[in-house]
Structure 1
Amino acid sequence: MASKKTILLGGLAVIVAVGAVVGVRTATFAPKDIADGSDVTLAPAPTYDLQAAVRHLSEAAQIPTISHQDAADNDGAQWDRLHGWLAASYPAAHAAMTRTILPNKTLIYQWQGSDPAAAPIIVMAHQDVVPVTPGTEKDWKYPPFAGTIADNAVWGRGTVDDKGSLVGLFEALDALAVQGFKPKRSIYLVSGHDEEAGGSGAITAAAQLKAKGVKAIFTIDEGSIVLTDTPVINGPAILIGVGEKGYGTLKVTANAPGGHSSMPPAETGVETLAKAILDITGDPFPMEVRGPGASMIEVLAAKKGGVTKMAVANQWLFGPILKRQLTGSPSTAAAFHTTIAPTMLEGSPKENVLPQSANALINYRIAPWNRSSDIMARAKAAVGDAKVDLAWVKPPREPSRISSTTSQGWKWIAAAARADAPEAVLSPMLVVGGTDSRSMEGVSEDVYRFMPMHFTLKESAMIHGTNEHMAVDSFKRMIDFYARLIATSAG
């Protein structure tokens, strides 16, 4: 009897101890190493004509700088047209800056600062847009390349991605030039011509800047937004991308004798390929609550409080439950592991012919803690002795490095973003797609990805989709943000 009582008391003591640890850790939990920019004194935004700015965005959207899958299908004259339009629309900015047009049509502008010892800043926005999916034109509220101004917005392909940023930057720079702004730090504006098709322009621009000895204090590009209905808190959050995932496409090939479909072997090349795909996708990379994704969850949990804060503060106990919650939606899960997505299949050219070669493409978005070598090793282990060949379609792009959330560049960006969204939570995040800014790592101390547009999750789906449009209030926020950021950091 005494023994049972001792066991019961011991169990109660453990429960009490665990409860005490959970309580203390929850009460003292707070996100670490994320500066809020409150020590920054922001320069005021200059005055400008908002209606003229809106018309400018409309005009830019009417220039179809479309990056097709095959670059040979691109109409290079449209890029020339855009360059001429920029020069005509922003005379003060062009008078203040020197312009270099690279042979591939990427643009580099420099506004020379008065202090050669001060590290410059780099601001970015790309020129090209994705095509409109054939057959969907009728689904657009307004024609996709008409630049229609209606319903307090500018409608058209590229108004958000990324001509909104490009025009917003030029509006800000032109307004600053008109009011007589003289930067101490040099300002570089880099505008890639083919971000939507791989970003070779930004790579070339980065090489040019490196050859000049440029080492910027920060770079800012597209990549994230102010999300007004952020999961967990169901409220606004300023999400600043501090890194982006890597990218690679693996080709899986099954070779076979081929022949007539009326006399199939025990296993066709297509079957071998299908099994290999299932073996690879059946061994996914594990969810790991680490990196920028973990920092974001900590910020949101601290804001939410209650059991959410308790779970995040005590992952030693609630880690498995937290991971299950994070896998609830693909958009959330993507920030916490390397993703595997079969995207293309190729087999026989005819239904009654057994293919001699069947292949599949599997696209990977590589988490910051993985490398392409990890992917290849995992895929080879998954297929075992299956008669398939594995090879990268082209050299993979490794994940970017993670930028600081306490640097001066972060503080400037945070302060400029909070000026228009003081009630929003400030958080780093991992960009699961790709941006031109990754190419600037060699010429910049830190690289950030953020546009101050206010979107709901549902509204963000229009990027690369149907009915893309830029709300006028978001566009104004963008111009003001860029103007304050440039004047504060370079002034």
Structure 2
Amino acid sequence: MGKRRTVLLGGLAIVAVVAGMVAVRTATFAPKDIADGSDIRLAAAPTYDLDAAVGHLSAAAQIKTISHQDPAENDIAEWDRLHSWLAATYPATHRAMTRTILPNRTLIYHWRGSDASLAPIIVMAHQDVVPVTEGTENDWNYPPFAGTIAEKAVWGRGTVDDKGSLIGLFEAIEALATDGFQPKRGIYLVSGHDEEAGGSGAVAAAAKLKAEGVRALYTLDEGSVVLRDTPVIDGPAILIGVAEKGYATLKVTANAPGGHSSMPPAETGVTTLARAVLAITEKPFPIEMRGPGAAMIEALAAHKGGTTELAVANQWLLGSVLKKQLSASPSSAAAFHTTIAPTMLQGSPKENVLPQSAIALINYRIAPWNSSADVMARARAAVGDAPVELSWIKRPNEPSRVSSSKSQGWKYVVAAARADAPDAVVAPYLVVAATDSRSMEPISDDVYRFMPMHFTLKETAMIHGTNEHMTIDSFKRMIDFYARLIATSAG
């Protein structure tokens, strides 16, 4: 009896210690290294004609700068048309800034600052748009390249991605230039011609600026938004991309003798390939609470409080439960591991012929703590001695570095965003897609990926999809945000 009593008391003591540790860690929990921008004195947005700005976005959406998978299909005249239209529509901008058009049609604008000792800023938005999926044109409420103004929005391909940002930037700069603004810090506006097809334009622009000795305080490009119904808090959050995942596509090839399908061997090239693909996908990268995704969850949990905060504050005890919850949704899990997605298959050209070569393409989005070398090593380990060849279809893009969430550049972006969403939670974010901004890393202290549009999760589905449209409310927010940001950080 005495022994049982001792064991029981010992157990209760352990529980009390654990409970005490949990309580203390929860009570003292706070997101680390996230500045709120409250020390920034924000400049006011200048006045401008919103109706005219909306008309300009409509006109830009009618210019078909479509990046096809095969660049030979692109109509280069549309890019030239856009450039001429920009020059005619924004005269004050073109008087204040010098314009360079690279041979590939990428644009670089420069507004020289009065103080050469100050590092410049770089703002970005790309010119090109993705095609409309063939056969879906009639699914649109309004023709996809008509730039229709209806239902308090501008409808059309590219109105959100990314001509909304491009025209928003030009409207903001035009208003500032018309208002007599004179920057102390230099301003570069870089607009890639092919972000939707690889981003070679941004690479060329970055190389040119590097050769000129440019070193920017920060770069701002597309990437994330103000999400109205953010998971965890079910409310608004200003999600600022501080990094983006890498991109790589693995080619898995199974060679075989081929032959007639009426006399198949025990294992064909297709079955060998299928086993290899399954072996790779059945060895996923683990969910890890680290990097920008972890920083985002910490910021959201601190705001939410309750059991959510308790779980995040005490990952030493509840980490496995938290990871299980995060992995339940593909959209949330993507921020916490390298993803593996088989996307394309190729085999025989005819149904009754055994292929001599069966090929699968597997697309990876690489987390910041992994590399393409990690991906290849994991794939090789998964297939073992299976008779397949593994190779990259082209050189992978490694993950970006993680930018600071407490730097001066971060503070400028946060302050400008909070002016329009004062009650929103501010959190770092990992962009799971790719942007042109990754090319600016060699010439910029920090790179941020954020557009000040206010979206719900459901509304984000229209990007690259049917019925893409920019609400007039969101467009006004964008113009005001860019104007405040530029005037504050460069003034």
**TM-score category by the smaller chain?**
over 0.9
For residue 5 of structure 2, what is the amino acid of its counterpart? K
Q: Secondary structure at the match of 2:474?
A: helix
For residue 334 of structure 1, what is the amino acid of its counterpart? A
Superposed CA RMSD in Å reads 0.4
Which residue number corresponds to residue 486 of structure 1? Answer: 486
Query: What are the within-5 Å matches in structure 2 for residues 3-402 of structure 1?
Result: 3-402=3-402
Deviation at 1:328, TM superposition (A): 1.5
* C-alpha separation in 2, matches of 1:149 and 1:397: 38
* C-alpha separation in 2, matches of 1:44 and 1:456: 27
* C-alpha separation in 1, matches of 2:422 and 2:131: 36
* C-alpha separation in 1, matches of 2:27 and 2:444: 38
For residue 437 of structure 2, what is the amino acid of its counterpart? S
* C-alpha separation in 2, matches of 1:253 and 1:426: 45
For residue 301 of structure 1, what is the amino acid of its counterpart? A
Question: For each residue in 1:188-232, what CA deviation from the matched residue of structure 2 results, as whole angstroms up to 9, or x when unmatched?
Answer: 000000000000000000000000000000000000000000001
Deviation at 1:478, TM superposition (A): 0.2
* C-alpha separation in 1, matches of 2:52 and 2:41: 29
**Percent of residue pairs bearing the same amino acid type:** 78
Q: Secondary structure at the match of 2:458?
A: helix
Deviation at 1:73, TM superposition (A): 0.3
* C-alpha separation in 2, matches of 1:203 and 1:341: 26
* C-alpha separation in 1, matches of 2:95 and 2:144: 32
* C-alpha separation in 2, matches of 1:440 and 1:187: 14
* C-alpha separation in 2, matches of 1:186 and 1:44: 19
Runs ≥4 residues deviating over 2 A = none
TM-score by length of 1: 1.00
* C-alpha separation in 2, matches of 1:225 and 1:317: 33
For residue 214 of structure 1, what is the amino acid of its counterpart? V
Question: For each residue in 1:379-403, what CA deviation from the matched residue of structure 2 results, as whole angstroms up to 9, or x when unmatched?
Answer: 0000000000000000101000000
* C-alpha separation in 2, matches of 1:180 and 1:36: 30
- Number of aligned residue pairs: give it: 491
Deviation at 1:139, TM superposition (A): 0.6
For residue 357 of structure 1, what is the amino acid of its counterpart? S
Deviation at 1:456, TM superposition (A): 0.1
* C-alpha separation in 2, matches of 1:78 and 1:69: 17
Deviation at 1:253, TM superposition (A): 0.0
* C-alpha separation in 2, matches of 1:166 and 1:32: 33
For residue 9 of structure 2, what is the amino acid of its counterpart? L
* C-alpha separation in 2, matches of 1:20 and 1:191: 54
Deviation at 1:152, TM superposition (A): 0.5
* C-alpha separation in 1, matches of 2:377 and 2:178: 57
Unaligned 5+ runs, structure 2 = none
For residue 322 of structure 2, what is the amino acid of its counterpart? L
* C-alpha separation in 1, matches of 2:169 and 2:51: 16
Deviation at 1:98, TM superposition (A): 0.3
* C-alpha separation in 2, matches of 1:305 and 1:36: 19
* C-alpha separation in 1, matches of 2:297 and 2:117: 39
For residue 12 of structure 2, what is the amino acid of its counterpart? L
* C-alpha separation in 2, matches of 1:33 and 1:251: 40
Question: For each residue in 1:145-204, what CA deviation from the matched residue of structure 2 results, as whole angstroms up to 9, or x when unmatched?
Answer: 000000000000000000000000000000000010000111000000000000000000
Deviation at 1:2, TM superposition (A): 0.6
For residue 416 of structure 1, what is the amino acid of its counterpart? A
For residue 319 of structure 2, what is the amino acid of its counterpart? G
Question: For each residue in 1:57-88, what CA deviation from the matched residue of structure 2 results, as whole angstroms up to 9, or x when unmatched?
Answer: 00000001000010000000000000000000
Unaligned 5+ runs, structure 1 = none
* C-alpha separation in 1, matches of 2:107 and 2:272: 48
Which residue number corresponds to residue 425 of structure 2? Answer: 425
Q: Secondary structure at the match of 1:217?
A: strand
TM-score by length of 2: 1.00
* C-alpha separation in 2, matches of 1:329 and 1:312: 18
For residue 250 of structure 1, what is the amino acid of its counterpart? L
* C-alpha separation in 2, matches of 1:475 and 1:351: 52
* C-alpha separation in 2, matches of 1:334 and 1:33: 23
Question: For each residue in 1:449-469, what CA deviation from the matched residue of structure 2 results, as whole angstroms up to 9, or x when unmatched?
Answer: 000000000001000000000
Question: For each residue in 1:342-395, what CA deviation from the matched residue of structure 2 results, as whole angstroms up to 9, or x when unmatched?
Answer: 000000000000000000000000000000000100000000000000000001
* C-alpha separation in 1, matches of 2:321 and 2:404: 29
